A and B are shown apart, each in its own frame.
Chain A
Amino acid sequence: MKAMSALATQPFDSSEDWVLPYRGQVGMASLIIAEAAIFTIFVVAYLYYIGKSLTGPTPSQVLETPIFFTICLLSSSLTIHFAGKFLERGRLGAFLGAWLLTIVLGGLFMYGTASEWYRLIYEHGLTISTNLFGTTYYSLVGLHAFHVTAGLVMLSIVLIFAVAGRVGRDQSARINVLSLYWHFVDAVWVVVFTVVYIIGR
Chain B
Amino acid sequence: MSSDAMAVQNAQIAGRPWVETLHDWVTTVDHKRIGILYVLYALTFLVIAGFEAVIIRIQLMFPHNHFVSPQVFNRLFTMHGTTMIFFVAMPILFGFANYLVPLMIGARDMAFPRLNAFSFWLTALGGVLLYFSFVGGNGLYGAGNAPDAGWWAYAPLTSKAFSPGSSSDYWTIALLVSGFGSVGTGINIIATILCMRCPGMRLTRMPLFAWLSLTMSGLILLAVTPLTAAQLMLAVDRYLGGHFFDTQAGGSATLWMHFFWIFGHPEVYVLVIPAFAFVSEIIPVFSRKPIFGYPAMVVATVCIAFVSMSVWAHHMFTIGMNSYANSFFAITTMAVGIPTGIKIFNWIGTMWGGRIQFKTPMLFCIAFLFQFLIAGLTGVIQAAAPLDWQLGLSYFVVAHFHYVIVGGILFALFGAFYYWYPKVTGRMMSESLGKLHFWLFVLGFHMTFDVMHIPGLLGMPRRIYTYEPGRGWDTLNLIVSIGAFIQGVAVLVFVANLIISYWKGAKAGNDPWDAWTLEWSVSSPPPAYNFASIPRVASRRPLWDLKHPEDPDSRYE
Contact = CB atoms under 8 A, between A and B. Distances in A.
Interface of A: 1-4, 6-13, 16, 18, 20-23, 26-27, 30-31, 33-35, 37-42, 45, 48-49, 52-54, 127-129, 131-132, 135-136, 139, 143
Interface string B206-224: 0000000000011001101
B341 interface: no
Contact of B197 (A20, A37, A128): A20
Given A1-B510, A129-B242, A139-B242, A7 B187 contact: no
Q: Ordered nearest first, which 5 A-B pairs have the shortest CB separation?
A: A129-B241, A41-B229, A37-B225, A23-B195, A135-B242
Nearest to A27: B191
B534 interface: yes
Contacts of A31: 183, 187
A7 B546 contact: yes
Nearest to A28: B187
Interface in B518-557: 521-522, 531-536, 542-543, 546-547
B225 A34 contact: yes
A10 B536 contact: yes
A29 B212 CA distance: 19
Given A4-B510, A12-B199, A132-B243, A38 B187 contact: no
Nearest to B543: A3
Interface residues of B, number: 56
B252 interface: yes
Give the dominant DSSP class at B's interface.
helix
Nearest to B536: A10
Contact of A8 (B224, B228, B533): B533
B500 interface: no
A127 B236 CA distance: 12
Interface of B: 111-112, 115, 183, 186-188, 190-192, 194-197, 199-200, 217-218, 221-222, 224-226, 228-230, 232-233, 236-237, 240-244, 249-252, 255, 259, 262, 510-511, 521-522, 531-536, 542-543, 546-547
15 contacts: A21-B195, A22-B195, A23-B111, A26-B190, A27-B187, A31-B183, A33-B221, A38-B232, A45-B255, A53-B250, A127-B241, A129-B242, A131-B250, A132-B243, A135-B244
B466 to A, nearest CB: 37
A41 B199 CA distance: 40
A128 B543 contact: no
Given A30-B187, A54-B250, A128-B236, A23 B112 contact: yes
A21 B194 CA distance: 7
B536 A12 contact: yes
Give the dominant DSSP class at A's interface.
helix
Contacts of B241: 127-129
B318 to A, nearest CB: 21
A135 B252 contact: no
A34 B533 CA distance: 35
A48 B200 contact: no
Contact of A37 (B195, B222, B521): B222
B222 A48 contact: no
Contact of B521 (A4, A22, A136): A4
A27 B193 CA distance: 11
A41 B259 contact: yes
A136 B546 CA distance: 61
B187 A37 contact: no
B249 A131 contact: yes
Contact of A20 (B196, B226, B240): B196
B298 to A, nearest CB: 19
Given A4-B511, A21-B195, A53-B249, 11 more contacts: A21-B194, A31-B183, A33-B218, A34-B186, A35-B225, A40-B226, A48-B252, A54-B249, A128-B241, A131-B249, A135-B244
Contacts of A42: 229, 233
A45 B244 contact: yes
B513 to A, nearest CB: 14
A22 B243 CA distance: 43
Nearest to A142: B236
